[in-house]
Amino acid sequence: MTDYAAPVEDMRFVLDRIVGLDRIAALPGYEDVSADLVDAVLEEAAKLAGEVLAPLNQVGDRERCRYENGVVRMPTGFRAAYDQYRDGGWNGLPFDPDYGGQGLPWAVAFAVQEMWQAANLSFGLCPLLNQGAVELLQSHGTPEQKAAYLPKLISGEWTGTMNLTEPQAGSDLSAVRCRAEPQPDGSYRIRGQKIFITYGEHDLATNIVHMTLARLPDAPPGTRGISLFLVPKFMVGEDGEPGPRNDVRCVSVEHKLGIHASPTCVMSFGDDDGAVGYLVGQENRGLAAMFTMMNNARLSVGLEGVAIADRAYQQARTYAFERVQGQSVGQDGGEPGPIIGHPDVRRMLLTMKASTEAARALTYFAAWQLDLAKRAPTEAARADARALADLLTPVVKAWCTDLGCEVASTGIQVHGGMGFVEETGAAQHLRDARICPIYEGTNGIQAADLVFRKVGRDDGAAALGFIETMADFDMPLSRQSGDDIAVIRLRLAAGVNALREATQWVAATVPSNPVAAAAAAGPYLKMFGMVAGGYMMARAAAEAASMIADGGTVTGFLAGKLATARFYADHFLAQAQGLIVPVTAGHHAVVSLADSQF
């Protein structure tokens, strides 16, 4: 497997030129976020990712985590790597300094998280779930819960999980049956079973805090009757340290297609006296509270798609320069050369590179909206950012994870037959990536969320507002980049017009024909991601062209950014208009085919 080197130059470019470090530093509480600080954070994170986590990726895939008598043992090297990660303070990057966090922006934290996920996706899933638990407690926990649990969750000494799914429920949380019985001391006894619990049991931390959905005895049916409870693996004593074992345990781990080193657990609550849990938020309002954790996780899973795409691209790029085979088209004699000379290999690599860079920029931009939603100086600005973050969350989650799978698959194709051989490591990227479109609500659920909750609910106001922002983007021509910029402008305008037409159709169709809107949801989300990614690449091209013009020299990175943006415009944005028919008319066959005809 090829070594991983974090794409720090592109990360810096997106943070500085697309998000804007100056805009970040202008927010209250972020005044000390300088370019030098961000550079130092990225460089140090890149060392840990490349030198410590990445070498364990194939080790974890081969050894897998092991379930032994109720205990999950992590593969060789994982505990030492986690200790180094925790002791370096990496877990607390974006969190409240009052509880031991470093208070850095989410946009910066996402760049660092990308490194963990790209270097070792199985490892990176542990801090991802912990991050969501912290966000949930910060938003909905009592002062006592925050004081008892946040410092050690933020430090990484303890880790958190999300316990939603049950065997009979799947994604339908209205079917949750796990029970919570009130106790005289104000606690609850939790009984039931949860499945697919990522890092539900492991030997990396001294305690695990399970955020768990359950029903009270008098709860109404459906999602209106779900409450949220904090259930620690070990009870926490008055000294703040883990004490007696709680009545919650892992009873098995799943054997999966990929992410072999990430324990996916079946958790049993209350086999004996009942697991002690504490209500988080209000009774019967647990799902609303849990969505704080779920929405955080959805953006982070989208980031996983970006990360695994970049890892697969790096490996394919290295192989294309090393693998000698045949003469390229137009070569007149001479020795065979590396396959990077073949136009179709170059097309595949550019497809991988362009889609990854577009997805990265869109994901960091969405994370930036989280920062604005929390720290913008006016309530109107915070509300606008929250609305845009909500709109982009299902797009980032679904579009980026679909791209992650496509890029990893293309990486195998670049390798040819060697990509199908496990020793190269190319196949692992695809196996690992395949869970991401399923995590945190399948991508079909994300598409339905976009259509019904994010577009249909406000008659498309938020979506159309973002579309007009994209339409108004100005790309000045310059002597050095005029042809490329002109083409990108043309393709972006056509893509935005197609997305506007599709959005207007969706907004009108949701109330009048919800079945048709549901059938169109997948193609519509794909179009939205494709155009939004094109907008990010257009902005990147404009910034690169401006920097070239200002400096008078063409650096390899800036010229490559401009060429990659042109490729995206020609090969991705040009597809947006072709999705109009699947969005507006594709539902006819979907609903007309009889069940017996499938």
Return the active site residues.
Answer: 440
Question: Which tokens is 443 given?
Answer: 């991508």
List, in order, residues 6 or more apart from 395 with CB less than 8 Å away.
362, 446, 450, 525, 528, 529, 532
Read off φ and ψ for residue 190, nearest 5 degrees.
Answer: -100, 130
DSSP code string of 162-217: EE---TTTTT-GGG---EEEE-TTS-EEEEEEEEEEETSS-SSSSEEEEEEEEB-T
Return the half-sphere exposure (C-beta side, CA atoms, 13 A cut-off) of residue 250.
25
77 within 8 A of 53, measured Cβ to Cβ? no
Q: What is the dihedral of CA 181, 187, 190, 195, to 10 degrees?
A: 140
- Rg, the chain, Cα only: 24
Nearest partner of 494 among 404, 578, 420, judged by Cα? 578
Residue 362 sits at the vertex; the CA angle it makes with 358 and 368, to the nearest 5 degrees, is 145
Question: Which tokens is 276 given?
Answer: 């002690």
How far is residue 541's CA from residue 289's CA, in Å, rounded to a whole number?
A: 40
499 within 8 A of 576, measured Cβ to Cβ? yes
Nearest partner of 526 among 469, 580, 490, judged by Cα? 580
104 within 8 A of 365, measured Cβ to Cβ? no
How far is residue 329's CA from residue 339's CA, in Å, rounded to a whole number?
A: 11
Read off φ and ψ for residue 3, nearest 5 degrees.
Answer: -60, 155
Sign of the C-alpha dihedral, residues 547, 549, 551, 554? Answer: positive
Nearest partner of 409 among 300, 563, 305, judged by Cα? 305
How far is residue 327's CA from residue 384's CA, in Å, rounded to a whole number?
A: 55
Q: Which residue, chain included where needed, has tokens 């976009």?
A: 450
Nearest partner of 404 among 318, 537, 307, judged by Cα? 307
Beta-bridged to residue 250, according to DSSP, are 267
Indicate the pairing of strand 158-163 with strand 207-214.
Answer: parallel
| 87-94 CB contacts, 8 Å cutoff, 24+ apart | 88/44, 88/48, 89/155, 90/45, 90/48, 90/127, 90/156, 91/127, 91/130, 91/154, 91/155, 91/156, 92/154, 92/155, 92/156, 93/41, 94/131
Using CA atoms, how far residue 180 sits from 171, 186, 317, in Å, is: 20, 12, 53
Residue 536 sits at the vertex; the CA angle it makes with 532 and 539, to the nearest 5 degrees, is 135
List, in order, residues 6 or more apart from 460 with CB less than 8 Å away.
503, 504, 506, 507
Helix or strand or coil: residue 296? helix
